[in-house]
A and B are shown apart, each in its own frame.
Chain A
Amino acid sequence: TQLLEQSPQFLSIQEGENLTVYCNSSSVFSSLQWYRQEPGEGPVLLVTVVTGGEVKKLKRLTFQFGDARKDSSLHITAAQPGDTGLYLCAGPGTASKLTFGTGTRLQVTL
Protein backbone atom coordinates (compact mmCIF):
# COMPACT_ATOMS: atom_id res chain seq x y z
CA THR A 1 0.00 0.00 0.00
CA GLN A 2 1.34 3.40 -0.96
CA LEU A 3 0.93 5.88 1.89
CA LEU A 4 1.31 9.63 1.72
CA GLU A 5 2.09 11.34 5.01
CA GLN A 6 1.58 15.08 5.20
CA SER A 7 3.06 17.43 7.76
CA PRO A 8 2.26 19.37 9.70
CA GLN A 9 -1.29 18.23 10.38
CA PHE A 10 -2.38 21.70 11.47
CA LEU A 11 -0.88 25.10 10.90
CA SER A 12 -2.16 28.45 12.16
CA ILE A 13 -0.33 31.53 10.98
CA GLN A 14 -0.89 35.24 10.55
CA GLU A 15 -1.43 37.03 7.28
CA GLY A 16 1.85 37.84 5.56
CA GLU A 17 3.83 34.91 6.94
CA ASN A 18 5.48 32.25 4.79
CA LEU A 19 4.94 28.52 5.27
CA THR A 20 5.88 25.15 3.84
CA VAL A 21 3.90 21.93 4.01
CA TYR A 22 5.24 18.52 3.14
CA CYS A 23 4.04 15.32 1.52
CA ASN A 24 6.24 12.26 2.06
CA SER A 25 6.17 8.62 1.09
CA SER A 26 8.45 5.61 1.13
CA SER A 27 7.17 4.76 -2.36
CA VAL A 28 8.08 6.28 -5.70
CA PHE A 29 5.27 8.07 -7.52
CA SER A 30 5.15 8.81 -11.25
CA SER A 31 3.45 12.10 -10.40
CA LEU A 32 1.86 13.94 -7.50
CA GLN A 33 -1.10 16.25 -7.36
CA TRP A 34 -1.92 18.98 -4.84
CA TYR A 35 -5.51 19.89 -4.01
CA ARG A 36 -6.95 22.61 -1.78
CA GLN A 37 -10.26 22.07 -0.03
CA GLU A 38 -11.92 25.18 1.36
CA PRO A 39 -14.40 24.87 4.22
CA GLY A 40 -17.73 23.53 3.00
CA GLU A 41 -16.42 22.64 -0.45
CA GLY A 42 -14.81 19.74 -2.27
CA PRO A 43 -11.08 19.59 -3.12
CA VAL A 44 -9.89 21.59 -6.13
CA LEU A 45 -6.78 20.61 -8.04
CA LEU A 46 -3.98 23.18 -7.82
CA VAL A 47 -1.13 21.50 -9.70
CA THR A 48 0.34 18.23 -10.93
CA VAL A 49 4.10 17.63 -10.77
CA VAL A 50 5.49 14.86 -12.94
CA THR A 51 9.30 15.16 -13.15
CA GLY A 52 11.73 14.55 -10.30
CA GLY A 53 13.13 17.88 -9.13
CA GLU A 54 10.39 19.84 -10.88
CA VAL A 55 9.35 23.20 -9.48
CA LYS A 56 6.04 24.79 -10.42
CA LYS A 57 4.79 28.21 -9.38
CA LEU A 58 1.18 29.31 -9.10
CA LYS A 59 1.19 32.96 -8.01
CA ARG A 60 2.35 32.86 -4.36
CA LEU A 61 2.41 29.05 -4.26
CA THR A 62 5.56 27.09 -5.15
CA PHE A 63 5.38 23.33 -5.58
CA GLN A 64 8.41 21.06 -5.69
CA PHE A 65 8.67 17.37 -6.54
CA GLY A 66 11.57 15.57 -4.90
CA ASP A 67 14.42 14.27 -7.04
CA ALA A 68 13.58 10.69 -6.06
CA ARG A 69 9.85 11.30 -6.66
CA LYS A 70 8.99 10.17 -3.12
CA ASP A 71 8.13 13.55 -1.68
CA SER A 72 6.77 16.96 -2.51
CA SER A 73 6.48 20.32 -0.82
CA LEU A 74 4.23 23.34 -1.11
CA HIS A 75 5.56 26.74 -0.10
CA ILE A 76 3.22 29.70 0.31
CA THR A 77 4.67 33.19 0.36
CA ALA A 78 2.89 36.01 2.20
CA ALA A 79 -0.11 33.93 3.19
CA GLN A 80 -3.56 35.47 2.95
CA PRO A 81 -6.85 34.52 4.66
CA GLY A 82 -8.03 33.17 1.30
CA ASP A 83 -5.32 30.49 1.54
CA THR A 84 -7.17 28.92 4.47
CA GLY A 85 -8.18 25.35 3.82
CA LEU A 86 -7.14 21.71 3.78
CA TYR A 87 -4.19 20.95 1.51
CA LEU A 88 -4.11 17.43 0.13
CA CYS A 89 -1.46 15.68 -1.89
CA ALA A 90 -2.40 12.70 -4.03
CA GLY A 91 -0.55 10.20 -6.16
CA PRO A 92 -1.41 7.38 -8.53
CA GLY A 93 -2.11 4.11 -6.80
CA THR A 94 -3.28 0.81 -8.17
CA ALA A 95 -5.64 0.61 -11.11
CA SER A 96 -7.81 3.69 -11.29
CA LYS A 97 -7.19 4.92 -7.76
CA LEU A 98 -5.64 8.10 -6.53
CA THR A 99 -4.06 7.72 -3.08
CA PHE A 100 -4.67 10.79 -0.98
CA GLY A 101 -2.49 12.07 1.82
CA THR A 102 -3.55 12.76 5.36
CA GLY A 103 -3.84 16.50 4.71
CA THR A 104 -2.57 19.74 6.25
CA ARG A 105 -5.20 22.07 7.66
CA LEU A 106 -4.08 25.70 7.27
CA GLN A 107 -5.65 28.65 9.07
CA VAL A 108 -4.52 32.15 8.10
CA THR A 109 -5.69 34.92 10.39
CA LEU A 110 -5.65 38.69 10.00
Chain B
Amino acid sequence: ETGVTQTPRHLVMGMTNKKSLKCEQHLGHNAMYWYKQSAKKPLELMFVYSLEERVENNSVPSRFSPECPNSSHLFLHLHTLQPEDSALYLCASSQGPGPSNEKLFFGSGTQLSVL
Protein backbone atom coordinates (compact mmCIF):
# COMPACT_ATOMS: atom_id res chain seq x y z
CA GLU B 1 0.00 0.00 0.00
CA THR B 2 1.71 3.18 -1.22
CA GLY B 3 -0.96 5.66 -0.18
CA VAL B 4 -1.90 6.34 -3.81
CA THR B 5 -5.08 4.69 -5.06
CA GLN B 6 -6.10 4.46 -8.71
CA THR B 7 -9.42 3.36 -10.18
CA PRO B 8 -10.35 1.51 -12.22
CA ARG B 9 -7.55 -1.08 -12.37
CA HIS B 10 -8.58 -2.16 -15.85
CA LEU B 11 -10.51 -0.33 -18.56
CA VAL B 12 -11.55 -1.36 -22.04
CA MET B 13 -13.05 1.33 -24.22
CA GLY B 14 -13.97 1.97 -27.80
CA MET B 15 -12.53 4.85 -29.75
CA THR B 16 -15.75 6.87 -29.45
CA ASN B 17 -16.20 6.41 -25.69
CA LYS B 18 -15.55 8.95 -22.95
CA LYS B 19 -14.12 7.67 -19.69
CA SER B 20 -12.19 9.03 -16.72
CA LEU B 21 -9.34 7.67 -14.64
CA LYS B 22 -9.25 8.59 -10.97
CA CYS B 23 -6.35 8.94 -8.57
CA GLU B 24 -6.41 9.74 -4.85
CA GLN B 25 -3.44 10.21 -2.54
CA HIS B 26 -3.61 9.95 1.25
CA LEU B 27 -0.07 11.19 1.94
CA GLY B 28 -0.62 14.93 2.27
CA HIS B 29 1.56 15.55 -0.78
CA ASN B 30 1.44 18.74 -2.80
CA ALA B 31 2.26 17.41 -6.28
CA MET B 32 0.57 14.80 -8.44
CA TYR B 33 1.59 13.32 -11.76
CA TRP B 34 0.22 11.27 -14.65
CA TYR B 35 2.64 8.90 -16.40
CA LYS B 36 2.12 6.62 -19.40
CA GLN B 37 3.88 3.25 -19.48
CA SER B 38 3.95 1.46 -22.83
CA ALA B 39 5.73 -1.74 -23.70
CA LYS B 40 9.39 -1.26 -24.61
CA LYS B 41 9.31 2.49 -23.88
CA PRO B 42 10.49 4.41 -20.82
CA LEU B 43 7.90 5.90 -18.50
CA GLU B 44 6.56 9.06 -20.13
CA LEU B 45 5.55 12.02 -18.00
CA MET B 46 2.22 13.43 -19.19
CA PHE B 47 1.13 16.05 -16.65
CA VAL B 48 2.29 17.54 -13.35
CA TYR B 49 0.12 19.42 -10.89
CA SER B 50 1.50 21.35 -7.95
CA LEU B 51 -0.98 22.72 -5.40
CA GLU B 52 -3.76 22.08 -7.93
CA GLU B 53 -2.06 24.13 -10.65
CA ARG B 54 -0.82 22.44 -13.79
CA VAL B 55 2.93 23.04 -14.05
CA GLU B 56 3.86 20.60 -16.77
CA ASN B 57 2.19 19.42 -19.95
CA ASN B 58 4.42 17.33 -22.13
CA SER B 59 2.83 17.89 -25.53
CA VAL B 60 0.10 15.42 -24.74
CA PRO B 61 -2.74 15.15 -27.33
CA SER B 62 -5.89 17.02 -26.38
CA ARG B 63 -7.85 13.76 -26.23
CA PHE B 64 -6.27 13.46 -22.76
CA SER B 65 -7.60 16.09 -20.36
CA PRO B 66 -6.38 16.25 -16.74
CA GLU B 67 -8.25 17.71 -13.82
CA CYS B 68 -7.02 18.38 -10.28
CA PRO B 69 -9.91 19.62 -8.10
CA ASN B 70 -7.79 19.53 -4.90
CA SER B 71 -4.36 18.39 -3.79
CA SER B 72 -5.59 14.87 -3.00
CA HIS B 73 -7.43 14.04 -6.20
CA LEU B 74 -6.39 13.83 -9.84
CA PHE B 75 -8.41 12.78 -12.85
CA LEU B 76 -7.54 11.98 -16.44
CA HIS B 77 -10.48 12.41 -18.79
CA LEU B 78 -10.30 10.38 -21.98
CA HIS B 79 -12.21 10.89 -25.21
CA THR B 80 -11.86 9.66 -28.80
CA LEU B 81 -8.74 7.68 -27.98
CA GLN B 82 -6.71 5.71 -30.50
CA PRO B 83 -5.56 2.08 -30.22
CA GLU B 84 -1.96 3.31 -29.74
CA ASP B 85 -3.12 4.95 -26.50
CA SER B 86 -3.46 1.50 -24.96
CA ALA B 87 -1.01 1.43 -22.06
CA LEU B 88 -0.66 1.41 -18.29
CA TYR B 89 -1.49 4.84 -16.89
CA LEU B 90 0.23 5.53 -13.60
CA CYS B 91 -0.55 8.24 -11.10
CA ALA B 92 2.13 9.39 -8.67
CA SER B 93 2.52 11.96 -5.93
CA SER B 94 5.41 13.66 -4.19
CA GLN B 95 5.93 16.18 -1.44
CA GLY B 96 6.53 18.88 -4.03
CA PRO B 97 7.64 19.14 -7.66
CA GLY B 98 10.52 21.49 -7.05
CA PRO B 99 13.60 19.29 -6.78
CA SER B 100 13.39 16.74 -9.56
CA ASN B 101 14.97 14.02 -7.44
CA GLU B 102 12.02 13.85 -5.10
CA LYS B 103 10.68 10.47 -4.13
CA LEU B 104 7.64 9.51 -6.16
CA PHE B 105 4.87 7.36 -4.74
CA PHE B 106 3.01 5.50 -7.48
CA GLY B 107 -0.43 4.00 -7.63
CA SER B 108 -1.01 0.53 -9.08
CA GLY B 109 -2.06 1.97 -12.41
CA THR B 110 -4.98 1.62 -14.80
CA GLN B 111 -4.40 -0.83 -17.63
CA LEU B 112 -6.20 0.75 -20.56
CA SER B 113 -7.13 -1.05 -23.77
CA VAL B 114 -8.58 0.94 -26.65
CA LEU B 115 -10.40 -1.15 -29.24
Contacts and interface: CB of A to CB of B under 8 A. Distances in A.
Chain B: number of interface residues, binned into ranges: 20 to 34
A69 to B, nearest CB: 12
Given A96-B55, A97-B56, A45 B103 contact: yes
Given A40-B108, A42-B106, A98 B2 contact: no
Given A92-B100, A102-B41, 12 more contacts: A4-B42, A31-B101, A42-B2, A42-B90, A44-B2, A45-B104, A48-B101, A92-B101, A97-B48, A97-B100, A98-B45, A100-B43
B103 A48 contact: yes
Nearest to B43: A100
Interface residues of A, number: 27
A90 B105 CA distance: 13
Contact of B42 (A40, A41, A94, A101): A101
A4 B43 CA distance: 11
B107 interface: yes
B9 to A, nearest CB: 8
Contacts, number: 63
Contacts of B50: 96
Contacts of A81: none
Interface of B: 2, 4, 31, 40-43, 45, 48, 50, 55-56, 90, 92, 97-101, 103-109
A95 B109 contact: no
A99 B48 CA distance: 14
18 contacts: A42-B90, A42-B108, A43-B43, A43-B90, A43-B106, A45-B103, A45-B104, A48-B103, A92-B99, A93-B100, A95-B55, A96-B55, A96-B100, A98-B101, A100-B42, A101-B42, A102-B40, A102-B41
A12 interface: no
